[in-house]
């Protein structure tokens, strides 16, 4: 079984003071913006952004809700189509994902990937306010600010590697707590000029897309209201009141393309949907759990061990008959695990594996033996069709995964559960393996799953998996 997982890269921070290139043309024309000098090609932006996106997705829990994601994507597409032609890059691949975090934030990476926090969608008063944050972030990407900033840094030899180039944070409560690795790599601060440019171009994109550009300014108010006077803003950002005034000044020069105006009821429906879910964790909470069991690192006696770069050997000890109790998902689940296994957190799910059963292959984390637990947001409240969604999802990343048999009824933590068996060819060892999937529903309708994997011919793991399953206690 594999899950995407990538090595953590060193954080490189640099400070660049850039030349002013926002030049008010005339009082009645929209502000003209120019590119900053840039040593990199647009293809470099795409490549760097893709690397950073893989890293981001190994650290941030994505909201697994296709309805919400595709809604955010549709707003994003509308904005992308409204980027002025001089800032459009055919190479760029814009896409939009939702991070299940409560902070009012969004960030975009060079070349197109954008991540919008669930908290931002919930906090916005209107679709326009949400779109404003997205337009601001898109503008950093379209203006190629990440690589422009890196160009400056390179002049001074500060830049040891450019893999860490990333987007920027929009603002919001709790930001200060994030100025630590591993999240910090995404939170590079842009200069005041870059921020102003992103506000101005963002306002222009808004107007072309049929949004009132003043909604971008209004979002600062919304963030201030919810963040206690805007204290979360990074210290060198232009103060929200400055930005508020600057955007409103620009808005006076813009004509809103009313023909592009969309259906605003959709936004209310999406907010309602999000509010029915369990509270999202804050970035700080995600980070704390990440520090305890950092992605890419093992835990236990040797917390600083790097996740092995080599593929798993698949040669492992028998599961110990002594079990140790673990509390996972912030105490929501208790489970007993053989005491010769260790816990590894892997982008939203938790694995328990014996030594030798995990490693990397083609840049992906691969497991040969072990059990993992996770929670999935599915569209269906019907257990079987929700389980089928989960399996379809697994199959997307594993071409050799096949179902072998239907669903059987079982129980997990005293509730109705489904059990199904899949076969797979292990990516690293090439050996056939059996993947057992057990699912049940949480009170909020989310799907809780256990996935257990071992080579087909190693039956001695069966009883360990059964003991683990029997031990699961869900307190939701």
Nearest distance, CB of residue 237 and Zn ion, angstroms: 8
**How many residues bind Zn ion, per CB under 5 A?**
3
Nearest distance, CB of residue 140 and Zn ion, angstroms: 5
Residue 249: CB atoms within 10 A of its CB come to 15
Nearest distance, CB of residue 190 and Zn ion, angstroms: 6
Nearest distance, CB of residue 410 and Zn ion, angstroms: 50
User: In terms of CB distance, is 166 or 422 closer to Zn ion?
Assistant: 166
Site string for Zn ion, 68-97 (x = CB under 5 A): ------------------------------
Residue 47: CB atoms within 10 A of its CB come to 17
Return the half-sphere exposure (C-beta side, CA atoms, 13 A cut-off) of residue 99: 27
User: In terms of CB distance, is 237 or 436 closer to Zn ion?
Assistant: 237
Nearest distance, CB of residue 418 and Zn ion, angstroms: 45
User: In terms of CB distance, is 198 or 365 closer to Zn ion?
Assistant: 198
User: In terms of CB distance, is 233 or 341 closer to Zn ion?
Assistant: 233
β-bridge mates for residue 424, sequence order: 433
User: In terms of CB distance, is 14 or 277 closer to Zn ion?
Assistant: 14
SS (H, E, C) 144-198: CHHHHHHHHHHHCCCCCCCCCCCCCCCCCCCHHHHCCCCHHHHCCCCCHHHHHHH
Q: Is 200 in the site for Zn ion (CB under 5 A)?
A: no
Question: How far from 159 is each of 13, 187, 207, 420, CA to CA, in Å?
Answer: 8, 16, 37, 50
Residues 156-185 that bind Zn ion (CB under 5 A): 168
Nearest distance, CB of residue 211 and Zn ion, angstroms: 18
Nearest distance, CB of residue 176 and Zn ion, angstroms: 16
Pairing label, strands 113-117, 95-99: parallel
Nearest Cα to 128, choosing from 78, 69, 196, 93?
Answer: 78
Nearest Cα to 118, choosing from 131, 105, 127?
Answer: 105
Residues in CB range of 209: below 8 A, 6 or more apart: 78, 79, 81, 82, 131, 135, 257, 260
Q: Is 51 in the site for Zn ion (CB under 5 A)?
A: no
Q: Is 198 in the site for Zn ion (CB under 5 A)?
A: yes
User: In terms of CB distance, is 138 or 198 closer to Zn ion?
Assistant: 198
Nearest distance, CB of residue 198 and Zn ion, angstroms: 5
Which strands make up the sheet holding 113-117, listed edge to edge?
95-99, 113-117, 106-108
User: In terms of CB distance, is 134 or 198 closer to Zn ion?
Assistant: 198
Residues in CB range of 19: below 8 A, 6 or more apart: 36, 193
d(CA 422, CA 424): 7
d(CA 311, CA 291): 24
User: In terms of CB distance, is 169 or 472 closer to Zn ion?
Assistant: 169
Nearest distance, CB of residue 401 and Zn ion, angstroms: 40
User: In terms of CB distance, is 168 or 222 closer to Zn ion?
Assistant: 168
Nearest distance, CB of residue 416 and Zn ion, angstroms: 48
User: In terms of CB distance, is 148 or 198 closer to Zn ion?
Assistant: 198
State whether the Cα torsion 238-242-248-252 is positive or negative: negative
Residues 284-303 that bind Zn ion (CB under 5 A): none
At 363, phi and psi to the nearest 5?
75, 5
d(CA 277, CA 226): 20
d(CA 208, CA 214): 13
With CB atoms as reference, the residue minimizing the distance to Zn ion is 168
Nearest distance, CB of residue 332 and Zn ion, angstroms: 35
Pairing label, strands 402-403, 408-412: unpaired
Residues 320-339 that bind Zn ion (CB under 5 A): none
Site string for Zn ion, 341-360 (x = CB under 5 A): --------------------
User: In terms of CB distance, is 138 or 401 closer to Zn ion?
Assistant: 138
Pairing label, strands 341-346, 333-338: unpaired
Which residue's entry shows tokens 């101005």? 200
Residues that bind Zn ion (CB under 5 A): 168, 195, 198
């Amino acid at each position: 079984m594999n899950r995407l997982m990538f090595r953590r890269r060193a954080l490189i921070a640099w400070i660049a003071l850039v030349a002013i290139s926002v030049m008010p043309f005339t009082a009645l024309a929209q502000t003209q913006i120019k590119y900053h000098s840039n040593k990199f090609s647009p293809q470099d932006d795409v490549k760097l952004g893709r690397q950073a996106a893989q890293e981001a997705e190994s650290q941030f829990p994505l909201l697994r809700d296709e309805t919400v994601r595709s809604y955010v994507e549709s707003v994003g597409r509308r904005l992308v189509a409204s980027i002025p032609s001089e800032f459009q890059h055919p190479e760029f691949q814009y896409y939009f994902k939702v991070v299940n975090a409560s902070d009012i934030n969004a960030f975009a990476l060079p070349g197109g990937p954008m991540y919008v926090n669930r908290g931002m969608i919930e906090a916005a008063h209107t679709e326009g306010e949400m779109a404003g944050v997205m337009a601001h972030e898109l503008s950093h990407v379209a203006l190629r600010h990440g690589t422009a900033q890196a160009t400056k840094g390179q002049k001074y030899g500060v830049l040891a590697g450019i893999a860490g180039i990333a987007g920027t944070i929009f603002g919001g409560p709790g930001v200060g707590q994030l100025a630590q690795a591993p999240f910090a790599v995404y939170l590079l601060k842009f200069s005041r000029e870059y921020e102003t440019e992103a506000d101005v171009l963002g306002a222009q994109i808004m107007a072309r897309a049929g949004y009132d550009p003043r909604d971008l300014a209004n979002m600062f108010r919304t963030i201030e209201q919810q963040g206690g006077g805007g204290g979360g803003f990074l210290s060198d950002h232009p103060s929200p009141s400055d930005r508020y005034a600057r955007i409103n000044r620009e808005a006076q020069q813009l004509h809103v393309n009313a023909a592009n105006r969309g259906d605003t009821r959709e936004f209310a429906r999406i907010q309602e949907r999000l509010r029915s879910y369990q509270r999202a964790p804050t970035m700080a909470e995600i980070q704390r759990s990440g520090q305890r069991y950092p992605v890419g690192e093992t835990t236990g006696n040797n917390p600083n061990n790097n996740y092995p770069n080599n593929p798993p050997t698949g040669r492992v000890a028998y599961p110990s008959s002594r079990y140790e109790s673990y509390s996972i998902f912030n105490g929501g689940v208790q489970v007993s695990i053989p005491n010769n296994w260790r816990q590894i957190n892997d982008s939203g799910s938790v694995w328990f594996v014996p030594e030798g059963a995990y490693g990397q292959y083609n840049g992906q984390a691969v497991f040969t033996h072990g059990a993992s637990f996770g929670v999935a947001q599915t569209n269906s409240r019907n257990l079987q069709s929700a389980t089928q969604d989960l399996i379809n999802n697994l199959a997307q990343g594993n071409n050799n995964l096949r179902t072998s048999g239907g669903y059987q009824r079982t129980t997990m933590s005293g509730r109705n559960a489904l059990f199904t068996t899949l076969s797979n060819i292990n990516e690293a060892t090439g050996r056939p393996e059996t993947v057992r999937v057990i699912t049940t529903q949480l009170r909020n309708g989310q799907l809780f799953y256990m996935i257990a994997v071992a080579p087909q011919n190693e039956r001695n793991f069966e009883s360990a998996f059964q003991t683990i399953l029997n031990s699961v206690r869900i307190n939701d």
